[in-house]
Every structure is written in C-alpha cells, then in structure tokens.
Chains A and B, each alone.
Chain A
Amino acid sequence: MLLLFFASQSFAAEAIEVFVGEKRVAIPVVAFQGRQYLPLDQMAKALQARYQDLSGKKVRIWLRDSSFLLREGSPKVVRGEEGISLSASPLLLKSGWVVPIDLFSFLLREKYGEGVWWDKDNRCVMVGQGAYSVRTLRYRSYSDHTRVVVELTLPLDFSWREETDRVLLLLQKGCLSPTIKKKEIIDGGGGLIRVIEARQGPDFSEIELSGLNPQRAIKIFALKGPHRVVIDVYNKGDKVEETKPSREEKVETSTAAVQPSPLKLVIDPGHGGKDSGAVGPTGLKEKDVVLDIGLCLRDLVEKNLGMEVVMTRRDDTFIPLRERASIANTAKGDFFLSVHANASLRGKAEGFETFFLSYEASDSEAREAAIRENNVIEGEGVNPRSAADLKVILWDMAQNEYINESSRLAEIIQNGLDEVQKAGNRGIKTAPFYVLMGVAMPAVLVEVAFISNPEGERKLNDDAYRQTLCEALFRAISEFKGHFEKKMGMVRGTKSS
C-alpha cells in the first residue's frame, strides 16, 4: 500500500527498481488515466512468479503455494475464498496484462514477508539485504585530549588521511547505522575538534573530524570487544604515549566528569498560526490561550527555578508537529511540556487531563508493525539506502526509554492542576500523540480545560484564571525538577557522550 501512495504522488511514470540480493531489476511503470500500473510479465519475472491467461479475460498468478485470480474490470484479487481489493482493476492491453502497482507491493510481502522494504528516496524495493557495520559514533573530551570512538559490528579495514585542520577516516565496506548523526558540532571540550561528520559511500563509510587545531597530534588505533576504531586528538606538546590502547576502558570511566549545567524545560504551546486549534462557542482560540499560558510559565520558570526554557513557538506562528520534537531534541531539553486546551463534540465535556505517550506506540508489537508498515527489514538488517525510513521509526520510538519519567511528570502536572480546580480531574491517560512521539526526554501533553463549553471558554478568557493555571503548572515543574535532579543527578554528566 505504501508503495502505491508514494508512487501515486509522482506524476512522472519512472521505472521502479527491485534489488533482490545483489541483483537489480527495473520494472517500467505504465501510467493510465492517472493511475500507475506494472506490466504483469515483468512484475512476475521480478517475483519469480508464474501466470496463465484464462478465458473470460482472467489471469491466474502463482506465487509460492498460493494462486491469485485477477479479472479485467474488477479491482479484486481472489486467493482461495479471500478477496483483496486493489486500488484499480487490472487491464488487458494489446501488449498484455498490466496490474495496479499496489498488487506488486502486496505480492512482495506475500513472498518475502518482513525481509522487504520500499526505499522512498530512491524509489526502489529492496529484498534481503545485509546488516550495517558501523554501529555508533561517540566522542568525549578529556583534560588533555578528545577521543572519538567508532564502534563496529565486525572488524573493518581502515585508513586515514590528515590535512591541516581535518582528518578523514575511511572504513572499507563500512555501512553506517541509521542512528548515527550525520553531523555533530562540538561546543567546548577544549576546542580540539569542532565538527564530526559521518558519510556513506557506495562501499565505504567516511568519518571526518574538522576544525582541528593545526598544532595537534593524532593517534588512531583499533580495539576489540566490541570492535572499534579510536581517534585521539591531542594538543601538541601533551604526551601522546601516555594513553595506551589497553587503558582505554579505565580512562573512559575514571574521567567521566560531571559538568553541571542548568536543566532545560521545553514548553510547547499547541497549534499556532493558520492552525487555531479548538475554537470556543464565542470564538476564543486555543492557540492564543495556550501561548499565553506557555509564555507565563516560561517567565516563572526562568525567574524562579534557574532553568533554561526553550519555547517551540513564542508567537502566533505555525510550527509543524514534526518540527516541535526536533526543536526539543536539538536544544537537548531535559523535559517537555505541551500545553493544550480541549474540545469535545457537543461542548458537553469538561475537566482537565494529562497525557503521556501510549504504551501502544512503544510496545514491541507496535514497533514491529511500524517497521513492517515502513517496509523496513527488522533488527539490524539495514541497508544505507533505507536509512531515511528507519531513522523515522527510531526517532518515533524516542519516547520508549522515558515512559516511566513521562508518567511521573504527567502525574505531577495533573495533581498540580487538581489543586487549583475544584472539579473535573479526568486523570492521567495515554494516547499516541504525534507531538510526543519523537521527543527524546520525559514528555507530556496537558489539556488544561475544555474551551468548547461556554463556562470553560469564559474561564480561559479570564487573565486571572490563566495565571492560576500557569502557577499550578509552575509548581508542578518545580516539583518534577526536584525529583528529576535526584533521579538523574548521577547520569547527567555522561549525557553528551
């Protein structure tokens, strides 16, 4: 299905490419009345399927143990007693049968199950590819040097080249994990390295360290268990030979210095710009109410808690949902609060509720479904060509490790609001909120009140009431900060490595 959706957005009827192992097969796409079709003979060849013309403008396709019956003029594919609906009917042209492009996607899945995915960027289908070989890329600054560690899944041949202000590491047959950041800019850390970049070549990976001090010394070596290549950058004059490879583990743990920095709260006022959010019976807009509460909360938190506050929007601007998580993650926020006002269908509902990401979006079944849906092979069987797709999934799973903390934050926020409102506590809930999905920190979404009922709208329009809500949220943030510092204090120093 996804194959179809993507293809239907493209007007040019290009060929699609199928990679089966090392083999590449191109299938031309036939555009007809705005829909896209594939010639059956070529599709069957790519799938190693057989087919036979039957009388009455029907055709039967055999794939593995199943057979599929198609008829001209009917969008249904019949397998045994089961009928599957296609986006269009197959056509019998003079040149032979053409079938809707989604039949291909369906049959691919039938044949290869999970081991198949659709690479949107490159417009190709890949089947049964190998695993990536470069697992992670990390760095840490020490008192006298900065160490970059490239962790591998298997030993790779490598070489390097030094230039005035950069060094290039070439990993033969390297294949970058999609989780590796393509570009990392390092602030501080003695300024030995400014930028670390990772690039994927056709059959190699390249790691570039740039912005190096021309007066430096570099040491590159391989280690085992796990396989990794280590690059140490020293200021010239420091004794390079002091750190021997065998001492690496000891060095890494003993110098994990804690650098205290203020905690960062990300406030996300919902909607904005062209997206008004919910609108009250007399026209009060959710986007204005939540921005006002968000800005009030920012001021209180900055003034009183010594925290840094990052706003996903400071004014009436439209910020796409996807960007909100990105703003929070880029700012390396410590926790995330999305502020909304609720609406129901007939304006009957009232109260306040706080959501954190549902277990559904984080459970293993959902993860598998997500992977299946994005046509990406499961586990480590990832090819760089599908990296973009997989990255989306991994990014979306970012909340996984923060569920407990998010649930705690939701509880504290909900209790905070409960203290200032007499009634209407709807409790904490879970649901797959888009805005929370990619946030890599404890994150909740609070619906402070219903704007859709007249009384709720009247209250939200009152400055004093909004101030009350803002102060309640502030006290909750203050409480969570205490809890968070207590719990995370030990871990914090190692966060950026």
Chain B
Amino acid sequence: MKTSHGRILTLLVLIGVLSATLAYQIWMRRTTLPLPPSPGPGLSSPSLEPKRSVRLFFASADEGSLQEEMREIKAGAVHEEAKMALLELIKGPGSELVSPLPPGIQLRQLYIDGQGIAYVDFGPALRDLHPGGSRAELLAVYSIVDTLAYNFDQVKRVKILIEGSEIETLAGHIDLRRPLKPRVDFDERS
C-alpha cells in the first residue's frame, strides 16, 4: 500500500511540475515574444527584424577620394554585421558614386581579434581583377578599411587577406603586410 501511494504521489507531483512548466513556457512566450499581428496572405513582416545603418565608402565620381553612402543592414553580432556591411560594399553604390572593387569578388571570412584588428579574407578576384594603378588601389583598399573601421568601434585596423594568406599588395603599391588604419582622404597630413 505504502509503495502504491508513493507511486501515485510521485506521478501527481510529476504531472504538476510538467503542467506548471508548460504553462510557464506558454506564458513566457506570450509575454516576452508577443506574436505580431497576423500578416495578410503574401505579406511578410520585414519591419520587425532589428536593423542598423552603416556608412559604406565608395569612390567619388571623379575617382579622387572616398565618399559615404548610407545603407541599412540586419543588426546582429559584430562580425556578422561587419560581413554584411562588406557584402553591401561589394554590391556597389546606389548613387553616382563609383564602386572601388572589381565586380564579383568573394568575401570568404572575417575575424576580429582582441587587439581591434579585423582580418578580412577575400577570394582571389580582389587581386586578380584589379585594374592596377595606385589610385585604384588606394580606393579599393581604403573602401574596405574605412567601411569596417568607421562603422564598428571594435575595429581599429584592418588586414586584408587573399584566400587565407597574407599578401604584399593588391597591385604593386599599397603595403598590406600590416593592418591599416582608416582614412578617407589621401592628402598629406590628413
């Protein structure tokens, strides 16, 4: 008798705990994640995704400097946001500005270390399709560096890699062996 009573008690307690947990979970879901008003058929609800704006750096129309264009990206972890900002940069400008990067380049990996250096790994097209010329190279390199460093406080310097390896330059001019600090203007003491 005693054991049978014990079993029933255990079962009751178990059921009680389970239903309490379930109720709690349902309650939690309702209070912390209120369901959005049900969208009509065929309508999505993009407005609910948290977003942030980033400044992308493209070449000016006269190809003499870098200029900003604002763009919205999905908010998330820093390195996810940084990747998205670069993907937007690769897509190119939506205005009269000029894309400083060769078309079709691949962003492979991005890593931000504890010292504030962002390591950005690109596919070979960034180097191989580069038109050459120090102006074009400065614009390409610093569009990447500036886009990362001016949008993400964690990024102080940027190091560009190709296929996971360190490279000397993109087209024979700008030293990429070391991480670079951002700059928009290439005039002396700017």
Cβ of B165 within 8 Å of any chain A Cβ, yes or no, is yes
Inter-subunit contact A433/B164 (CB<8 Å): no
- What CA separation (Å) do A321 and B177 show in the bound complex? 12
Check B169 against A452 for contact (C-beta < 8 Å).
no
User: Which of A110, A346, A434 lies in contact with B169, CB distance below 8 A?
Assistant: A434
User: Within 8 Å of chain B (Cβ to Cβ): is A465?
Assistant: no
User: How far apart sit A304 and B105, CA to CA, in the bound complex (Å)?
Assistant: 50
* A275 CB-CB contact with B under 8 Å: yes
**Interface members, chain A 429-481 (any B CB < 8 Å):** 429-435, 437, 445, 447, 450-452
Tally of B interface residues using CB under 8 Å: 49
Known: A5-B166, A428-B188. A344 touches B63 (CB 8 A): yes
Nearest-Cβ distance from residue A353 to partner chain B, whole angstroms:
8
- Check A5–B132 contact: CB distance below 8 A: no
* Interface 1/0 per residue, B95-129 and A, CB below 8 Å: 00011100000000111111101010000000000
For window 84-98 of A, CB contacts with B under 8 Å fall at 84-85, 87
CA distance A445 to B175 in the complex (A): 14
Most A CB contacts (10 A, CB to CB) among B62, B166, B168, B188 go to: B188
Q: How far is the CB of A194 from chain B (nearest CB, A)?
A: 36
In whole Å, how far is A270's beta carbon from the nearest beta carbon of chain B?
7
Q: A360-B180, A369-B179 are in contact. Are A342 and B113 (CB under 8 A)?
A: no
The answer, yes or no, to whether A345 is at the interface (CB within 8 Å) is yes
In the complex, chain B residues whose CB is within 8 Å of the CB of A433? 134, 173-175
Please state if A345 and B119 are interface contacts (CB–CB under 8 Å): no
- With beta carbons under 8 angstroms apart, the residue of B63, B159, B178, B188 that contacts A366 is B178
In the complex, chain A residues whose CB is within 8 Å of the CB of B178: 361, 366, 369-370, 373, 432
Q: Within 8 Å CB of A427, what residues of B? A: 187-188
CA–CA, A452 and B183, complex, Å? 24
B100 contact set on A, CB distance < 8 A: 345
State which of B113, B173, B186 has its C-beta within 8 Å of the C-beta of A84: B113
B16 an interface residue at 8 Å Cβ cutoff? Answer: no
Cα(A341)–Cα(B138), bound, Å: 14
Whole-angstrom distance between the alpha carbons of A430 and B131 in the complex? 21
* A residues in contact with B84, CB < 8 Å: none
B139 within 8 A of A: yes
Given A346-B98, A434-B168, A447-B134: A426 and B119 within 8 A (CB)? no
Which A residues lie within 8 Å of B135 (CB)? Answer: 342-344, 349, 447, 450
Q: How far is the CA of A445 from the CA of B133 in the complex (A)?
A: 12
Residues of B close to A435: CB separation below 8 A? 173
Chain A residues with CB below 8 A from B2, complex form: none
Assess whether A430 is in contact with B188, with CB atoms less than 8 Å apart.
yes
Please indicate the chain B residues that have their CB under 8 angstroms from the CB of A279 in the complex. 132
Across-interface contacts of A346 in B (CB, < 8 A): 63, 98
| Interchain CA distance A277-B168 in the complex, whole Å | 15
Report how far A430 CA is from B181 CA in the complex, Å.
13
Interface of B, helix, strand, loop or mixed by DSSP: loop
Closest chain B residue to A270, Cβ basis: B172
Chain A residues near B175: list those with CB within 8 A. 361, 432-434, 437
Q: Which residues of A contact B5 (CB under 8 A)?
A: none
**Please, how many residues of chain A have a CB less than 8 angstroms from a CB on the other chain?**
59
Closest residue of chain A to B77 (Cβ to Cβ) is A83
Encode contact with B along A328-371: 1 for CB under 8 Å, 0 otherwise. 00000000000011111110110000010001110001100110
Task: State the main secondary structure of chain A at its contact with B.
Answer: mixed
The reply on A135 being an interface residue by CB < 8 A is no
Judge whether B186 and A429 touch: CB under 8 Å: yes
Q: Which of B119, B134, B172 contacts A355 (CB 8 A)?
A: B134
Q: How far is the CB of A405 from chain B (nearest CB, A)?
A: 15
In the complex, whether A313 has a CB less than 8 A from a CB of chain B is no
- Is the Cβ of A85 less than 8 Å from the Cβ of B79? yes
Decide if B136 is an interface residue (CB 8 Å cutoff). yes
**B59 in the interface (beta carbon within 8 A):** yes
How many Å from the CB of A389 to the closest CB on chain B? 12
Chain A residue at smallest Cβ distance from B119: A1
Q: Which residues of B contact A271 (CB under 8 A)?
A: 172
Q: Does A402 contact B (CB under 8 A)?
A: no
In contact, B174 and A369 (Cβ under 8 angstroms):
no
Q: Which of A1, A365, A370, A434 meets B111, CB within 8 Å?
A: A1
Docked CA distance A83–B77 (Å): 8
* CB–CB A109/B114 < 8 A: yes
Indicate whether A429 sits within 8 Å of B187 (C-beta atoms), given known contacts A342-B133, A434-B173, A452-B133: yes
Docked complex: A278-304 residues within 8 A CB-CB of B: 278-279, 286
A106 touches which one: B59, B98, B114 (CB < 8 A)?
B114
Decide yes or no whether A8 CB sits under 8 A from chain B.
yes
- Given A1-B111, A431-B174, A359 and B189 contact (CB-CB distance below 8 Å): yes
Q: How far is the CA of A422 from the CA of B182 in the complex (A)?
A: 33
Residue of B nearest to A373 (CB): B178
Chain B residues with CB under 8 Å of A372's CB are: 115
Contact of B109 among A83, A85, A106 (CB under 8 A): A85
Complex-state Cα separation, A277 to B170, whole angstroms: 11
Jot down 27 A-B pairs with beta carbons below 8 A, ordered by A.
A5-B161, A84-B112, A87-B109, A106-B113, A109-B114, A277-B133, A279-B132, A340-B134, A342-B133, A343-B135, A344-B136, A345-B99, A345-B100, A349-B64, A349-B135, A369-B115, A369-B178, A373-B117, A373-B159, A428-B188, A431-B173, A431-B174, A432-B175, A433-B174, A434-B172, A434-B173, A447-B134
B positions within 8 Å CB-CB of A = 59, 61-64, 77, 79, 98-100, 109-115, 117, 119, 131-136, 138-139, 157, 159, 161, 164-166, 168-169, 172-175, 177-181, 183, 186-189
